[in-house]
Amino acid sequence: MLILKSPTSEPETPRVRLPHSWTARPYQQALWDHLMGGGRRADVAAHRRWGKDEVALHFAADQAHRHVGVYWHMLPEAGQARKAIWDAVNPHTGRKRIDEAFPKTLRKSTRASEMAIEFKNGSIWQVVGSDNFDSLVGSSPVGVVFSEWALAKPDAWTYIRPILAENDGWNTDPSTTAQEYVLPGGGRIIAGRAIGANLLVWTNAALFLGTYVGSPNQIWRFDKVGDKCGLAGPNAAVVVGQRAFWVGPDLQFYSYGLGGQAQAIDCAIRDAFAGNLAAGQGDKIYASSTSSFQEVRFDYPDARDGTENSRYLSLIVSGGDAGAWARGVEPRTAYVDAGPASYPISTDPSGRALWQERGMSNDGAPLPWFLETADQNLSIDQTTMVRGLWPDLANQVGPVNLTLFTRLKPEGVETARGPYSVAAGQERVDVRVAGRLFRIRYDGNSAPAACRWGTTIFDVVQAGAR
């Protein structure tokens, strides 16, 4: 702390304490202590709004009144310096930042055209740009702040360093961790996601893994971990633990695990998705996860229903059923897994926010639902007689119906048997129907309604000719 007493010729002017009406925040204290303790250099990499320039301004004010000399606050460009420092206003106080750090009672003159302040003790503080440092030749600064150091013109440090060394001067290099990195291969960036301590960045053609390096010259490194597997839309990717799942522009499903390479995911029901995605609506694909069921889902606009998200495909990603796909009809435009809330939250095309996987009804009303298999070929070259089914429904609440569909040939006439009512805990459903291709449908419409579907077993005998 420095207390400056006004000359006796100005008795009405109060004493001024530096830093003026300012105290370092807890996370700034280590930097402030280092500088005030005699530190001659401080490299500071911190996020925006951390207060890097704020600390530098108040330290410069202190030093300018301890040691008479020239002090620079240098930004990458002079035009940027005027906006960021000289004209900057503290939104919390409504005062200009230079007026907070350098009280007017201490000034001899303020030269706005040069962005310079001359103090009564003879020191000069000036805002400059590293892009025109050569216009300052002849000055001999004893303290320099290289604000946004990572973006500064390197030649400026080459010029200033020997001057500071000769003057036993100091410098601080506050900067953010922001840098520009051009991803190779062309294309445009679609989206990014955090995955552990890393970043994933998708273009419309490839996938890149960002790794934090932490060096002032290289904050992040980006490596290509997948080619020809870009992202279909900004919301078409989801990260679950250490793995990512997404839809590519080719409407293929992909996955990536840390330490590996991107790879395609086999999907037996992909054609129903790719063949019916509403034209020009790929940006609406929304990938999400439901951790309670160990699944990821992809909501998309199906042309059979219009242009808003109306259907989804889901994939079990871990456990005994890993790799199993399912599809459904449910209009959801966005979906957030449990975590922020106790249950997943979704929105529908009307803008309503909805709980997912909570309760056993449609907000108190009956909940219509169905589960349906693809065709099962029980015998390739012989007709099969199904005499009964053994349901496998766990935690059943409410009535469940079972319908069995059969055909002799893929393009043959389909025959339906049922629906048969299945009570909770029922061991067998008797039915008598012959065919080669069989499909099962479970459905219900009650409140409450719930069940978990296991493996349905067919009781069959061979029924005839090849």
The CATH number of residue 52's host domain is 3.40.50.300
- CA 439 and chain centroid, separation: 41
- Check whether residue 255 and residue 331 sit in a common domain: yes
What the block records as the tokens of 348 is 């529908």
13 in the same domain as 126: yes
**Which residues sit opposite 290 in a β-bridge?**
295
In a domain, residue 183? The reply is no
Residue 39, domain extent: 2-175
Structural domain tally of the chain? 3
pLDDT score of 14: 64
| Contact (Cβ atoms closer than 8 angstroms) between residue 341 and residue 430 | no
Contact of 176 with 46, CB cutoff 8 Å: yes
How many Cβ atoms sit within 10 Å of the Cβ of residue 68? 12
Residues 6+ apart with CB under 8 A from 239: 193, 194, 195, 200, 245
Domain harbouring 237, CATH code: 2.120.10.30
Picking from 61, 224, 44, 43, the residue whose alpha carbon sits closest to that of residue 143 is 61
Do 325 and 223 belong to one domain?
yes
233/120 same-domain check? no
Q: Is residue 227 part of a domain?
A: yes
Q: Last residue of a domain, which of 175, 205, 226?
A: 175
Whether residues 169 and 197 share a domain: the answer is no
d(CA 199, CA 213): 12
210 & 327 share domain: yes
Closest to 119 (Cα-Cα) out of 135, 134, 107 = 107
Are 32 and 143 within one domain? yes
- Same-domain status, 133 and 85: yes
pLDDT tens for the chain, residues 1 to 466: 666 655 544 545 468 889 998 999 999 999 999 999 999 999 887 878 889 999 999 999 999 999 999 999 999 888 888 999 999 999 889 999 999 999 999 999 999 999 999 999 999 999 998 887 777 767 899 999 998 877 778 788 888 899 999 999 999 988 776 667 889 888 899 999 999 999 999 999 999 999 988 776 677 899 999 999 999 999 999 999 999 999 999 999 999 999 999 999 999 999 999 999 999 999 999 999 999 999 999 999 999 999 999 999 999 999 988 999 999 999 999 999 999 899 999 999 999 999 999 988 888 899 999 999 888 888 777 899 999 999 999 999 999 999 999 998 889 999 999 999 999 999 999 999 999 999 999 999 999 999 888 889 999 998 766 5
User: CA torsion, points 120, 123, 125, 131, in degrees to nearest 10?
Assistant: 140
- 398/395 Cα distance (integer angstroms): 10
40 falls within a domain: yes
- Please report whether residue 52 resides in a domain: yes
In a domain, 69, yes or no: yes
Same domain, 350 and 241: yes
Domain end position, chosen among 360, 390, 412 = 360
CA distance 270 to 298: 11
Cα dihedral value 125, 126, 132, 135, nearest 10: -70
The burial class, CB within 10 Å (0-12 / 13-18 / 19+), for 63 is: buried
**Is 149 contained in some domain?**
yes
Query: Is 184 part of any domain?
Result: no
Residue 420 forms part of a structural domain: yes
Q: Which of 340, 360, 380 is the last residue of a domain?
A: 360
For residue 156, what pLDDT is reported? 84
Tell me: do 264 and 340 sit in the same domain: yes
Could you tell me how many residues make up the chain? 466
Are 295 and 322 contained in the same domain? yes
Buried b (16+ CB within 10 A) or exposed e, 343-377: bbbbbbeeeeeeebeeeebeeeeebebeeeeeeee
Asked whether residue 350 falls in the same domain as residue 375, the answer is: no
CATH code, domain with 409? 2.60.120
Q: Is 133 exposed, middle or buried (0-12, 13-18, 19+ CB in 10 A)?
A: buried
